[in-house]
Amino acid sequence: MFLGDLGATVVKVERPGGGDESRGWAPPWSNGVSTYYQAINRNKRVAVCDLGSEAGRASALELCLRADVVVENFRAGTLDRMGLGSADLLGRKPDLVYCSISGFGPGAGKDMPGYDFLLQAMGGLMSVTGEADGEPLRVGVAIVDVLTGLHALVGILAALRHRDATGKGQHVEVNLLSSILSGLVNQASAYLNTGAVPVRMGNLHPSLAPYELVDAQDRPLALAIGNDVQFATFCAEVGIDEISADPRFRTNASRVENRQALIERITAALSSAPAAEWVVRLTRRGVPCGVVNRVDEAIGLATALGLAPAIEMEDSAGRRWRQVRNPISLSETPAEYHLPPTPIEQAVPLAELLSELGQA
C-alpha cells in the first residue's frame, strides 16, 4: 500500500471466490467491506487468479515478468513448484526485485504458519507486555505484521536503489520472527549483553524513571522524562523542587533504583490538579507528558495539530472510504490516494487486467 501511495502501480493477486482472508475479518464493516481490509488495501488494482490452473500460472508468470517488484508470502517452496520462485524469475528477469515474506524464515521454520498473534507470543513480545502479576498480553494491533511490512518496504527500496546503480535485481527476504526480535530493541539487547531475561513490568520502563502512568487528581498522566534536566524542570513545576537534588533521585539510574519512593512523591504532588492542567503547564516547560487518549481522541489531537491524519476517497459508485493518511511527508513526491479498496465483486481476472495494463 505504501508503495502505491508513493507512485507505484500495484497489482494485488487474490484467489477467486472469497479473495484475501482479511476481507472476512469483521465486524466492523463499511460499504460491505471489512474495515481491516480497508485499512491496508488502497492504491491497489485487484485481480483474481487460480494458481492451481495452468492458465492462472501463465498469467501470474506474465505479470511477474512485466513487474519491477514481486512480493509474495506463500510458504517456502510453494511458488518454486509453480515455476514462480525467486530463482526461476530472477533467472528469466535478472533486474527483478523479488521480496519474500514469511513467518519463520525459509529454513527449519519454513512450514510453520505465521500469524501476528502467534508471533507476539513466540517472539517474546507478550512476555514483556502486561502487568507484572498478570497474564501475558498482545499489543492492541498487529504490530509484528506492521513491522515486517515496513522492513519489506525498506528492503525493496534498497534493492531498487541497487538495481538503479547496477542493473541487477535481487531476492529480498523478511520474516515475522526476525522483525519482532529487531523490534524488541532494548529488551533484546539487555538479554544478549547481560543474560538477564526481561519481564513484564506493566507501564514501567526497565531503564527510565519516571517513564510511566502516574495518577493526577482525576485521571492518569503519562510522564516520559528522558533526562535529568527534564526531571529538574518537572520537579520545579509541580512543587517538589527539593527532590531533584536528593541523591536517591538526582540521576536517572538512581531514580530507577528508587522508583517506588519517587512515584509516591510525584503522585502526592500531582493530586493537587487535574491531568489536563498538568499537561498544559508541563508542556509549556518542555516536560514530555500527556493523557491516555482513545483512538478518536488521538485522531482529534492530530487534527488539532494540523497533521490532517484522515483522508477520504470515493469510488465510481459514490461510496466513500476514510483511511489514515500515509505518515511519510515528501516535499517533491507526496503520497497520492487515487484508488480506494476494491470490493471482491469488482476484482477482474488477472488475464483481463494484464490486457488492460498492456493498453495503458
Examine domains 2-184+311-359 and 211-299 and report if their fold is the same.
no
- The tens digit of pLDDT for each residue in 282-341 reads 999 999 999 999 999 999 999 999 999 999 999 888 889 899 999 999 999 999 999 999
Question: In the numeric block, which cell numbers belong to residue 154?
Answer: 525498506
Burial of 41 (0-12, 13-18, 19+ CB in 10 A): buried
- pLDDT recorded at residue 186: 96
Average pLDDT, the chain: 95
The pTM is what? 0.93
Give the Cβ contact number of residue 320 at 10 Å: 11
**Average pLDDT of 126-131?**
98
Q: Distance (Å, rounded) from C-alpha 340 to C-alpha 43?
A: 6
Residues 6+ apart with CB under 8 A from 195: none
Report the CATH number of the 2-184+311-359 domain. Answer: 3.40.50.10540
Return contacts of 274-283, CB within 8 angstroms, 24+ apart.
274/216, 274/217, 274/218, 274/219, 275/216, 275/217, 275/218, 275/219, 275/220, 275/221, 278/216, 278/221, 278/238, 279/221, 281/237, 282/234, 282/237, 282/238
Q: Are 175 and 105 in contact (CB under 8 A)?
A: yes
% of the chain surpassing 70 pLDDT: 99
Q: Distance (Å, rounded) from C-alpha 248 to C-alpha 35?
A: 50
Report the CATH number of the 211-299 domain. Answer: 3.30.1540.10
Written in H, E and C, the secondary structure of the chain is CHHHHCCCCCEEEECCCCCCHHHHCCCCEECCEEHHHHHCCCCCEEEECCCCCHHHHHHHHHHHHHCCEEEECCCCCCCHHHCCCHHHHHHHCCCCEEEEEECCCCCCCCCCCCCHHHHHHHCCCHHHCCCCCCCCCCCCCCHHHHHHHHHHHHHHHHHHHHHHHHCCCEEEEEEHHHHHHHHCHHHHHHHHHHCCCCCCCCCCCCCCCCEEEEECCCCEEEEECCCHHHHHHHHHHHCCHHHHHCCCCCCHHHHHHCHHHHHHHHHHHHCCCCHHHHHHHHHHCCCCEECCCCHHHHHHHHHHCCCCCEEEEECCCCCEEEEECCCCCCCCCCCCCCCCCCCHHHCEEHHHHHHHHHHC
State yes or no: is 145 an active-site residue.
yes
Task: Give domain limits for the chain.
Answer: 2-184+311-359, 211-299
- pLDDT recorded at residue 360: 55
Q: Distance (Å, rounded) from C-alpha 160 to C-alpha 206?
A: 39
Q: Which of 172, 174, 152 has the alpha carbon at shortest distance from 162?
A: 172
- The tens digit of pLDDT for each residue in 236-286 reads 999 999 999 999 999 999 999 999 999 999 999 999 999 999 999 999 999
5, 20, 116, 145: which is the annotated catalytic residue?
145
- The tens digit of pLDDT for each residue in 148-205 reads 999 999 999 999 999 999 999 999 999 999 999 999 999 999 999 999 999 999 999 9
Give CA 126 to chain center in angstroms: 16
**Average pLDDT of 130-159?**
97
Would you say residue 357 has pLDDT above 90? Answer: no
Give the Cβ contact number of residue 345 at 10 Å: 7
Q: Which of 144, 118, 149 has the alpha carbon at shortest distance from 40?
A: 149
> By three-state DSSP, how is residue 122 classified?
helix
**β-bridge mates for residue 170, sequence order:** 97
**β-bridge mates for residue 320, sequence order:** 314
Which band of pLDDT confidence, cut at 50, 70 and 90, is reported for residue 31?
Answer: confident
